[in-house]
Structure 1
């Protein structure tokens, strides 16, 4: 099959490289100039696994305006706040018969993708897969091959032949895809997970394992999960997991699967990039308000992340001013 990955960051590179290794024809489209130019210069992307076996994988990467390919499936892995511009710049290459798959963090991307792709050709889901972009053209796959899982669903909740073909290719890559017929519940499962682990690890600059080692981690997780489920149930969403199962998932991934991993929100914060907290905890707050429910803990954490962003920006500005004085 022909895949084009929109967004050659950590997750986009992992999915694209593994799909390529499974025998598919894969292109990459990215807007970050240092990343694109570095891969052009290198002739590909350097790939490591758990900081070892660093090697160059040849890949084809383009800027949106230059891309003229015609994939069977687009694989979208941008940041939420970058997606609208990314889609607009690439729209000339979108065709009615193409499918799109996305496992982006947070909520808000489906509505943007629906502006360009037919509902029966939209596949979305969640990925419990840890990956780090060390720098331009340099990615690190965290965890042994086959470590990690993903859920996905067709927007219509009626998977067709192409949906099953995509699932088969993802299975070859050992992503362990679980095809569901619960679209919104599938997406919100990762939102709830991220609203706990991503946000708390980012605020305290700790790994998932360090969070799990705290004796009060269960209590913190349960409070956030319960509040999130209260919101989702008011919206009429049937969640994939029970509250207890969601807590068990947080604990397993933090303690066993990826204890040494810093979540993607932390990676953004540590590089003074805007985080996606408004699309995760902030989304739950807004959804709750729609039904007169105040998700106060999630609102508090959203403010804390923005305060941390604001503080880091002030320190960076002060440091830059002092250095130029």
Structure 2
């Protein structure tokens, strides 16, 4: 399969490298100049797994304006707030038969992609795979090979032969995909997961296992999840799992699967980049307000993350 990965960051590299290893023709497109320069200089990316065994994986990377072929699949891993900007730069190589896969963290990315691509050609979903960017041209795959799983779902329409073709390539790469049928339920379930772990670990500057070790971690999770699910019920969204089941999932992933992992929002905060909190907790607040409800816990977390973002200027002085 001819694949272009837009965004050679942590998750883009994870997906692209794994799919390249099983025989796909993968091209990376990126806009972060230090990253592009480092990969080109080294003729590849330095990959570690859990911080060990650094080795070079040969990959090709270019800027959007430099790529002019037409891929079968585009994998889009750009922060939600930059979706439209980057799609504008990449739209020239997305043909009428090209599918676009996005596993972005928040809600709204797929909707912005739909301004450029037929909704029936968009595959959304979620990724329970931890990966960290260690610097330009350096990525760390967290967890043993085959750890984690991916859910993919068409934004509009029933699963078609192409989504199963994508799933087949993912399975070869040990990404353990599940093809789902409910776009809203799939995307919002992962968003709520992120609204707890990503946000709280970022605010407290802790790893997922350290969050889970707190005596009231489960109760904190429950309050945030229940508040979010009230909004989903009002919208008529059928979630993949129930409220209490998601609480248990958060605790299990934090305690057992990825206890040493700093979530992606934490990585953005510590590298002085804008966070996606408005597309995660903020999306829950907006959905609640749409139905005349309040989401005070999530609203407070949005303000606290933005306060922490603003406070970074004082830490640097």
Q: Same fold (TM over 0.5)?
A: yes
Q: Is residue 46–residue 137 contact of structure 1 (8 Å, CA) maintained in 2?
A: yes
Which position in structure 1 is the counterpart of 2:249?
249
Q: Is residue 47–residue 57 contact of structure 2 (8 Å, CA) maintained in 1?
A: yes
Which position in structure 2 is the counterpart of 1:23?
23
Which position in structure 1 is the counterpart of 2:188?
188
- CA offset at residue 156 of structure 1? 2.0
CA distance in 2, matches of 1:152, 1:224: 25
Q: What secondary structure, in the 3-state scheme, does the structure 1 residue paired with 2:47 have?
A: strand
Q: Is residue 49–residue 142 contact of structure 2 (8 Å, CA) maintained in 1?
A: yes
- CA offset at residue 115 of structure 1? 1.4
Q: Is residue 99–residue 122 contact of structure 2 (8 Å, CA) maintained in 1?
A: yes
Q: Is residue 6–residue 30 contact of structure 1 (8 Å, CA) maintained in 2?
A: yes
**Aligned pairs for 1:51-62 within 5 A:** 51-62=51-62
1:156-194 Cα deviation digits (max 9, x unpaired):
240111111001111111111111110010000111000
- CA offset at residue 302 of structure 1? 0.5
Q: Is residue 157–residue 183 contact of structure 1 (8 Å, CA) maintained in 2?
A: no
Which position in structure 2 is the counterpart of 1:156?
156
**Aligned pairs for 1:273-292 within 5 A:** 273-292=273-292
- CA offset at residue 61 of structure 1? 0.4
Q: Does residue 265 in structure 1 map to residue 270 in structure 2? A: no
| Structure 2 stretches lacking a partner, 5+ long | none
1:183-225 Cα deviation digits (max 9, x unpaired):
0100001110000000000000000000000000000000001
Question: Deviation above 6 Å: which 4+ runs of structure 1?
Answer: none
| Structure 1 stretches lacking a partner, 5+ long | 320-325
CA distance in 2, matches of 1:224, 1:277: 14
Q: What secondary structure, in the 3-state scheme, does the structure 2 residue paired with 1:147 have?
A: coil
Q: Does residue 133 in structure 1 map to residue 129 in structure 2? A: no
Q: Is residue 71–residue 93 contact of structure 2 (8 Å, CA) maintained in 1?
A: no
Which position in structure 1 is the counterpart of 2:206?
206
CA distance in 1, matches of 2:168, 2:119: 21
**Aligned pairs for 1:2-151 within 5 A:** 2-151=2-151
Which position in structure 1 is the counterpart of 2:293?
293
- CA offset at residue 314 of structure 1? 3.4
Which position in structure 2 is the counterpart of 1:322?
none
- CA offset at residue 315 of structure 1? 3.2
1:127-170 Cα deviation digits (max 9, x unpaired):
01100000000000000011111211111240111111001111
1:78-103 Cα deviation digits (max 9, x unpaired):
11112111111111111101001110
Pairwise CA RMSD of aligned residues? 0.8
> Scaled by the length of structure 1, what TM-score is found?
0.96
CA distance in 2, matches of 1:314, 1:51: 31
> Scaled by the length of structure 2, what TM-score is found?
0.99
CA distance in 2, matches of 1:284, 1:165: 33
CA distance in 2, matches of 1:306, 1:106: 16
Q: Is residue 272–residue 313 contact of structure 1 (8 Å, CA) maintained in 2?
A: no
CA distance in 2, matches of 1:230, 1:53: 46
